[in-house]
């Protein structure tokens, strides 16, 4: 079978049994291999749907510019899909995000605007900055510009409602009991939730420390404590993508729990992932303990680990943050005898 363009290569990712955590919990814990998308992350799906919706509405014209505020992965997806369709991308990214993601964005042809990290309520937060830049470029670019707006553009969750959720259902022959993942924009959890909850599947939300959703769904208050080194997740408000979705189960997964899971995943299963995947699997373990043995629980393997070589996979960075370091990551190369 031959794909006619990059867009057709997005989605239809396999489910991989996560053997250690499945055996430990007595549940089937399956990871949806979103790192196998062309842009190596779950966000390719949202990028494609956002671009398609903007073309369909007439907002995005041939040769137009797509502007987005992103932790990286959405920008990589938009830039690659955009390149395949003849659109330019301008990406506003908090300068705290990994160097590898910034390098990949430049490789993918995006114009990068790095801004200091600011809370959402600050008008210089990267999302507000991107919105203003899109408004300016809409006036000055010859073919116009749009703001992709992944957080509040529900074309994002529509991608997961129409593709990720139904894929999980079909791949498990309808035997899936639970689905859980963390939220950045909330597009994945809400979109999959809206696809699977009506089919009787329990859908959970796993929050990293520093995010406010756990307290919101558990205690009705958008409140956060602590922090996390995971990138791309950790939401402080109810985005338009989260509106109308209510999780059946919520939990918090601190880095001290998530990181050893990510390290084991590489050491014992050959899966090299980013930090958000550790929060997702930590959530799946908690959901398995809550539901009891014998259930099938699906989570998301969000993005490939090479994107975090300088942080999560760097012993000096981990030590500096007081986080656990896997022994094999810290061993010097062997001398040639």
Q: Name the site residues for ligand PMP (rule: CB under 6 A).
A: 41-43, 71, 73, 182-188, 231-233, 274, 276, 302-303
**Residue labelled with tokens 């079978």:** 1
Of these residues, 32, 43, 101, 102, which one is catalytic? 43
Element containing residue 67 per DSSP (H, E)? strand 65-69
Q: How many CB atoms lie within 10 A of CB 107?
A: 11
Instruction: Collect all residues with Cβ–Cβ distance below 8 Å to 325 and sequence separation of at least 6.
Output: 315, 318, 319
CB 128 within 8 A of CB 119: no
Helical spans, DSSP H, in 108-240:
126-140, 155-159, 165-171, 187-196, 213-219
Instruction: Tell me, yes or no, if 202 is annotated catalytic.
Output: no
In angstroms, what is the minimal distance from the CB of 63 to ligand PMP? 27
In angstroms, what is the minimal distance from the CB of 154 to ligand PMP? 12
In angstroms, what is the minimal distance from the CB of 255 to ligand PMP? 14
- Cα distance between residue 26 and residue 24, in whole Å: 6
Question: Of 127, 123, 38, 116, whose CA–CA distance to 82 is shortest?
Answer: 38
Q: Which is nearer to ligand PMP, 31 or 64 (CB)?
A: 31
The structure tokens listed for 20 are 């250690």
- Cα distance between residue 117 and residue 94, in whole Å: 5
- Cα distance between residue 176 and residue 183, in whole Å: 20
In angstroms, what is the minimal distance from the CB of 2 to ligand PMP? 29
- Cα distance between residue 256 and residue 265, in whole Å: 15
Question: Of 249, 234, 247, 259, whose CA–CA distance to 286 is shortest?
Answer: 249
Q: Which is nearer to ligand PMP, 27 or 190 (CB)?
A: 190
Q: How many CB atoms lie within 10 A of CB 190?
A: 27
- Cα distance between residue 151 and residue 186, in whole Å: 7
Q: Which is nearer to ligand PMP, 64 or 196 (CB)?
A: 196
Q: Which is nearer to ligand PMP, 65 or 241 (CB)?
A: 241
In angstroms, what is the minimal distance from the CB of 102 to ligand PMP? 14
**Residue labelled with tokens 């909330």:** 186
In angstroms, what is the minimal distance from the CB of 146 to ligand PMP? 19
Q: Which is nearer to ligand PMP, 64 or 247 (CB)?
A: 247
Q: How many CB atoms lie within 10 A of CB 291?
A: 18
Catalytic site positions:
43
């Amino acid at each position: 079978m031959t794909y006619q363009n990059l867009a057709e290569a997005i989605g239809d990712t396999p489910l991989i049994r996560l053997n250690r955590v499945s055996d430990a919990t007595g549940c089937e814990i399956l990871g949806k291999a979103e790192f196998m998308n062309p842009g190596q992350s779950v966000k390719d799906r949202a990028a494609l749907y956002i671009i398609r919706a903007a073309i369909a509405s007439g907002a995005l014209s041939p040769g137009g510019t797509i502007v987005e505020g992103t932790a990286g992965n959405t920008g990589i997806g938009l830039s690659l899909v955009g390149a395949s369709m003849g659109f330019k991308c301008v990406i506003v990214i908090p300068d705290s995000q990994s160097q590898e993601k910034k390098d990949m964005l430049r490789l993918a042809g995006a114009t990068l605007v790095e801004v200091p990290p600011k809370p959402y309520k600050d008008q210089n937060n990267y999302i507000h900055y991107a919105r203003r830049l899109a408004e300016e470029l809409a006036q000055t670019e010859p073919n116009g510009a749009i703001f992709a707006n992944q957080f509040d553009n529900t074309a994002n969750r529509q991608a997961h409602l129409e593709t990720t959720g139904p894929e999980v259902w079909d791949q498990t022959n309808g035997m899936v009991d639970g689905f859980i993942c963390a939220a950045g924009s909330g597009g994945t959890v809400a979109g999959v939730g809206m696809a699977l909850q009506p089919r009787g599947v329990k859908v959970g939300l796993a929050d990293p420390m520093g995010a406010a959703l756990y307290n919101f769904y558990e205690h009705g208050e958008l409140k956060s404590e602590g922090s996390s080194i995971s990138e791309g997740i950790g939401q402080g408000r109810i985005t338009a993508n989260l509106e109308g979705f209510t999780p059946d189960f919520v939990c918090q997964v601190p880095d001290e729990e998530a990181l050893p899971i990510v390290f084991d995943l590489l050491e014992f299963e050959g899966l090299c992932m980013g930090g958000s995947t550790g929060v997702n699997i930590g959530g799946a373990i908690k959901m398995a303990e809550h539901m009891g043995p014998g259930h099938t629980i699906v989570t998301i393997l969000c993005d490939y680990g090479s994107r975090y070589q300088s942080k999560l996979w760097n012993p000096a960075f981990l030590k500096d943050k007081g986080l656990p370091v896997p022994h094999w990551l810290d061993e010097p190369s062997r001398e040639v005898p």
